[in-house]
Structure 1
Amino acid sequence: MTDTIEVVDFATSLQFTFDDLRRYSGPRSVGGLAHSFRVMQRVFPLLSPDGPPARREIQVRTAHPGPGLRDGVELVTRAVTEDRFRYDPAFARTDGGQRMSWWVFEFTYRDKIVTAHAREEFVPEALMHFALLGRKATPDERERFLAEIQKMSALVLAARPEEIYDIVGLG
């Protein structure tokens, strides 16, 4: 597997690495960024089996509120800028409790829709606790949260996309 994501923009092939996404987003939200990278690698071949999808025709819906996920999708697809990215808390998963509720991703491309769920082993249990603390977190809790995000990023990037996400809808 090539560790890139490829899309086509106005008949030009564009390839993105995780480092490209990290440079765009910055160092803080690497957990969501790693998930954005891997989930796009997982679903794009299903959406467009004959070659890379057209970047500006991809729509995304997720219950994940984090900036890393949004930034990764934006760089590759321009879906945020062009109003094709939808954060939808009502789209949250109902299996796996609150910890897994955000980790659902729906990509639409032309006449196809692919929905993917992250597997539990790729979402550290402590992450949700820290995320819910938000601004109430102490400096020590914020440091532990950032450490958990770094661990999740490393775990996700070390795995193949098909190990991380179950395809729960394909149509």
Structure 2
Amino acid sequence: MLRVLESGVPIDITFADLMKYHGPGFPGGVAHAYCAMRHAVALLGAVERRAITVRTAFPGPGGRDAVEMALRAVTGDRFAVVPELAATHRGNTLARYVWAFTHQDRTVTLQLRDAGFVTAEFIELGARRDRTAADDERLTLLKQQMADRLLAGAVGEVYEEVR
């Protein structure tokens, strides 16, 4: 569970809550944002949700929606996709899974651990523009499997702090 504050009042947010806001399209992206936010809050301590700025190399709509619902950062103009944050030295599979969370005067930057959470098949199939109906069906399955792998990890097992 993710706990943030709204004017000092705790708000507990679950993955299921984020999926209700986002819809069924990109559960993997929602799971990435959820895991990254949980880890950031664990490192930053109690945070006011409307006081967090998020920068990420991850452009997916699931991630954006999760950050918006939990932190209200999109409508608050505190969310930016910054392609330059990508860890290109980590290869195509891991490069874009980088998140930087700033609360007050502290920034925590996280990257996805190299532990098989994202598969090359998912990246390749997701990038393909000439997908068939069978490809789309396979991609839907891969998205859910990735979300399941991410959510099975404890805080600190999915994302790691970049120093």
Q: Say yes or no: TM over 0.5.
A: yes
Distance 2:4 2:72 in 1: 11
**Equivalent of 2:103 in 109, 121, 128:** 109
**Structure 2, unaligned runs of 5 or more:** none
- The DSSP-based 3-state class of the residue aligned with 1:95 is helix
More helix by share: 1
Q: Percent identity?
A: 37
Distance 1:133 1:76 in 2: 31
Distance 2:47 2:102 in 1: 11
Is 2:126 the partner of 1:131? yes
Aligned match of 2:92: 98
1:15-46 CA deviation, whole Å, 9 max, x = no partner? 10111001110111100111111111111121
1:66-112 CA deviation, whole Å, 9 max, x = no partner? 11111111111000111100011122112221111111111111110
Aligned match of 2:53: 59
Is 2:34 the partner of 1:40? no
Distance 2:19 2:13 in 1: 10
**Equivalent of 1:164 in 136, 158, 161:** 158
Query: What code does the residue aligned with 2:23 have?
Result: G
Is 2:11 the partner of 1:14? yes
Distance 2:112 2:161 in 1: 9
Distance 1:161 1:128 in 2: 24
Query: What code does the residue aligned with 2:67 have?
Result: V
Q: TM-score w.r.t. structure 2 length?
A: 0.94
Query: What code does the residue aligned with 2:19 have?
Result: R
Distance 2:81 2:88 in 1: 16
**Structure 1, unaligned runs of 5 or more:** none
**Equivalent of 2:67 in 61, 67, 73:** 73
Moved over 6 A (4+): none
